[in-house]
C-alpha cells in the first residue's frame, strides 16, 4: 500500500512539473498558429495583389492590342484612300486623255464613218475595252455600223434574246433532247461565250436617240462611275458628229437641188417658149400662101401642145408653193365629184399630146363609180401629172391604161404604162420634192415636182398612193380615195 502511495505521489509530482511545460508548449503552438495565419493572410493579400496586377496587365495588353488594331485600320484606310486618290487621279488622267483624243479625232477628220471609226477605236484603247459595236443613223439616212474586235452577229444575238425573252443561265451539263428552237437558242448563246460584261450606251442629240454603242469585256468587269461618265461623253460626241455630218450632207444636197432646180426650171420654160417663138417667126416671116393648110395646122398643134406644157409647168410651180403653206388644206374647198368625169376631162385636154407621141390610151372606168369628196381643179392636176409622167417615160409603142374600181369603202384609180420603169432603190424617193432618178435625169429633163404634188394632193383628199414598177416593163400608180360617206366620217373624226 505504501509502495502504491509513493508511486502515486511520484506521478503527481511529475504531473505538477509537466504543467508549466505544457503551458509553454501550448503558448508556442498558439504563437505558431498566429504566425501561420499572419503568413497566410499576407500570402493571400500578395496573391490578390498579384491577380490585380495580372488583370491590369491583361487589360493594358488588350488596350494595346486594340490600339494596334485601330492603328492598322487607320493605316489600311490611309492606304485605301491613297489608292482611291491614285485611281481617281489615273481616272481623271484617262478621262482627260479620252476627252481630248475623241474630240480631236472627230474634229480633224472630214469624212463621217472614218472619223467615227477612229474615235471609237481610240476610246476602246484608252479604256482597255476588249470589243465594241457602234451603230448610228435613223430612217436609213447616213447609216453607220462599226464593229471592232467582234462580229456584227452579236447585235442579232442580243435582239433575238430580247425578242424571245430568253434568260441567260449556266449551261446544263446533263444530256437532254434538243428542239430546233433550243438549237437556235444555243447557237445564239454561243456568240456570248467570250462576252462576260456588256454595256449599251445610247447616242442622243437633244434627247433624240439616233443610235447606240455596245462595249464589252471578255472577263467579268465592274463599270466604275468615271467609266460611265466617259462613255456618256463619248456617246454624245459620236451623236453630235454624226448629226453634224448629216446636216452638212443635207446642206450640200439642198444646195445641189437648188442649183438643179433653177437650171431645170430655166430649161423647162425655155424649151416650149423657144418652140412657140420659132413657129411664130416662121409664120410671120413668110407669106401665108407659101404654107399649106396642113402645115399650118401642124404648127398650131405643136404650139398648142407647148402652151399646154407651159401652163402645166407654171401650175405645178405655183401649186408646189401653195401646198407647203399651213392654211392650204383649210382654204381648199371639197365637194362631191366623180373621178370618172375628171379622168375623161383630163384625157380630152391631153388628147393632142397623146396623139403626137403615139400613145395608145385605154380607159376602163365603170359609169356608176361612186363619188368622192374632193377639189375638181386639184384632182385634175393629179391625173394630168400622172399621164404626163407616163408620156415622158414612155418606150416604144407606148400604152397607158387607166382603170377605175371600187370596194366597200374606197374608189381606186390605177394608171399603168409600159415605159422604162423605175429602179427598186429609187421607188422610196420618187415622191420627194426635186428628186429625179440618176439614170433618167439626163435622158428625161424635168423639175422633180410632179409626183411630189401628186402625193401631197392625194393625201389632201384623205387618199393613199402606191407604186409598183419593173425596169423596162412599166409602172403602175394606184390611187385609193374614200367614198363620199366614208370621207365625211373621216372629216368629222378629224375635226373632233
Residue owning grid cell 504563437: 31
- What is the grid cell recorded at 132? 465594241
Examine the pLDDT at 160 and tell me if it is beyond 50. Answer: yes
Q: Which one, of 312, 383, 387, lies nearest residue 343 by Cα?
A: 383
* Out of 37-51, 354-368, 407-421, 449-463, least confident range: 37-51
Region 366-372: mean pLDDT is 89
- What is the grid cell recorded at 303? 404650139
Examine the pLDDT at 103 and tell me if it is beyond 70. Answer: yes
pLDDT for 482 equals 93
| 472-483 tens-digit pLDDT | 889 999 999 999
Region 243-256: mean pLDDT is 83
Q: Contact 486/404 with Cβ under 8 angstroms?
A: no
| 389-420 tens-digit pLDDT | 898 888 888 999 999 999 888 999 999 999 88
Cβ atoms within 10 Å, residue 163: 8
Domains and CATH numbers, the chain: 98-168+178-243 (3.30.450.40), 332-495 (3.30.565.10)
How far apart CA 128 and CA 223 sit, in angstroms, is 12
CA 293, 296, 298, 301 torsion-angle sign = negative
How far apart CA 257 and CA 447 sit, in angstroms, is 10
Top-confidence residue, 98 or 1? 98
Region 161-188: mean pLDDT is 50
pLDDT for 107 equals 80
Q: Contact 487/354 with Cβ under 8 angstroms?
A: no
pLDDT for 79 equals 76
- What is the grid cell recorded at 167? 434568260
Examine the pLDDT at 280 and tell me if it is beyond 70. Answer: yes
How far apart CA 348 and CA 115 sit, in angstroms, is 58
pLDDT for 329 equals 78
pLDDT for 410 equals 92
Residue owning grid cell 509502495: 3
Q: Contact 116/136 with Cβ under 8 angstroms?
A: yes
> At CB < 8 A and 24+ separation, what contacts does 230-235 make?
230/94, 230/95, 230/98, 230/99, 230/123, 230/127, 231/199, 231/201, 232/201, 233/98, 233/99, 233/102, 234/98, 234/102, 234/119, 234/120, 234/123, 234/201, 235/201, 235/202, 235/203, 235/204
**Partners of 223 in the β-ladder:** none
pLDDT for 357 equals 85
Examine the pLDDT at 139 and tell me if it is beyond 60. Answer: no
| 341-359 tens-digit pLDDT | 999 988 988 888 888 888 9
Examine the pLDDT at 422 and tell me if it is beyond 70. Answer: yes
CA 31, 36, 40, 46 torsion-angle sign = positive
Helix (H, G, I), strand (E, B) or coil at 264: helix
pLDDT for 496 equals 46
Examine the pLDDT at 179 and tell me if it is beyond 70. Answer: no
How far apart CA 45 and CA 124 sit, in angstroms, is 78
In this prediction, residue 441 has a pLDDT band, given cuts at 50, 70 and 90, of low
| 482-491 tens-digit pLDDT | 998 755 555 5
| 230-244 tens-digit pLDDT | 888 899 999 988 888
Q: What is the mean pLDDT of the chain?
A: 79
How far apart CA 84 and CA 91 sit, in angstroms, is 10
In this prediction, residue 315 has a pLDDT band, given cuts at 50, 70 and 90, of confident
Amino acid at each position: 500500500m505504501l509502495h502504491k502511495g509513493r508511486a502515486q505521489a511520484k506521478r503527481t509530482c511529475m504531473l505538477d512539473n509537466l504543467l508549466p511545460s505544457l503551458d509553454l508548449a501550448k503558448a508556442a503552438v498558439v504563437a505558431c498558429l498566429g504566425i501561420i495565419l499572419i503568413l497566410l493572410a499576407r500570402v493571400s493579400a500578395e496573391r490578390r495583389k498579384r491577380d490585380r496586377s495580372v488583370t491590369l496587365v491583361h487589360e493594358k495588353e488588350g488596350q494595346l492590342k486594340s490600339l494596334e488594331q485601330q492603328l492598322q485600320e487607320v493605316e489600311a484606310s490611309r492606304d485605301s484612300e491613297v489608292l482611291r486618290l491614285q485611281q481617281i487621279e489615273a481616272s481623271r488622267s484617262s478621262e482627260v486623255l479620252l476627252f481630248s483624243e475623241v474630240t480631236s479625232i472627230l474634229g480633224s477628220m472630214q469624212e463621217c464613218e472614218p472619223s467615227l471609226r477612229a474615235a471609237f477605236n481610240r476610246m476602246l484603247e484608252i479604256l482597255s475595252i476588249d470589243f465594241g459595236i457602234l451603230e448610228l443613223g435613223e430612217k436609213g439616212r447616213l447609216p453607220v455600223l462599226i464593229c471592232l474586235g467582234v462580229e456584227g452577229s452579236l447585235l442579232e444575238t442580243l435582239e433575238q434574246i430580247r425578242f424571245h425573252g430568253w434568260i441567260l443561265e449556266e449551261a446544263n451539263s446533263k444530256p437532254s433532247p434538243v428542239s430546233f428552237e433550243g438549237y437556235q437558242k444555243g447557237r445564239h448563246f454561243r456568240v456570248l461565250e467570250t462576252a462576260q460584261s456588256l454595256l449599251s450606251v445610247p447616242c442622243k442629240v437633244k434627247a433624240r436617240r439616233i443610235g447606240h454603242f455596245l462595249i464589252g469585256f471578255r472577263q467579268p468587269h465592274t463599270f466604275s462611275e468615271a467609266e460611265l461618265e466617259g462613255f456618256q461623253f463619248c456617246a454624245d460626241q459620236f451623236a453630235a458628229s454624226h448629226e453634224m455630218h448629216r446636216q452638212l450632207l443635207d446642206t450640200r444636197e439642198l444646195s445641189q437641188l437648188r442649183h438643179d432646180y433653177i437650171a431645170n426650171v430655166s430649161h423647162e420654160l425655155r424649151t416650149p417658149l423657144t418652140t412657140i417663138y420659132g413657129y411664130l417667126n416662121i409664120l410671120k416671116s413668110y407669106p401665108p400662101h407659101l404654107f399649106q393648110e396642113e402645115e399650118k395646122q401642124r404648127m398650131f398643134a405643136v404650139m398648142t401642145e407647148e402652151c399646154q406644157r407651159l401652163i402645166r409647168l407654171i401650175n405645178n410651180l405655183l401649186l408646189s408653193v401653195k401646198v407647203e403653206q399651213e392654211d392650204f388644206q383649210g382654204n381648199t374647198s371639197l365637194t362631191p365629184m366623180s373621178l370618172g368625169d375628171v379622168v375623161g376631162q383630163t384625157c380630152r385636154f391631153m388628147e393632142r399630146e397623146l396623139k403626137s407621141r403615139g400613145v395608145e390610151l385605154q380607159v376602163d372606168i365603170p359609169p356608176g363609180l361612186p363619188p368622192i369628196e374632193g377639189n375638181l381643179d386639184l384632182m385634175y392636176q393629179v391625173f394630168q401629172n400622172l399621164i404626163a409622167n407616163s408620156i415622158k417615160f414612155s418606150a416604144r409603142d407606148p400604152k397607158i391604161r387607166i382603170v377605175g374600181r371600187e370596194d366597200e369603202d374606197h374608189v381606186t384609180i390605177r394608171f399603168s404604162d409600159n415605159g422604162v420603169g423605175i429602179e427598186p432603190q429609187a421607188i422610196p424617193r420618187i415622191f420627194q420634192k426635186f428628186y429625179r432618178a440618176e439614170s433618167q435625169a439626163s435622158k428625161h429633163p424635168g423639175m422633180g415636182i410632179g409626183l411630189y404634188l401628186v402625193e401631197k394632193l392625194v393625201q389632201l383628199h384623205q387618199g393613199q398612193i402606191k407604186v409598183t414598177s419593173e425596169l423596162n416593163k412599166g409602172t403602175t400608180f394606184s390611187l385609193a380615195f374614200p367614198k363620199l360617206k366614208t370621207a365625211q366620217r373621216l372629216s368629222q373624226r378629224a375635226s373632233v
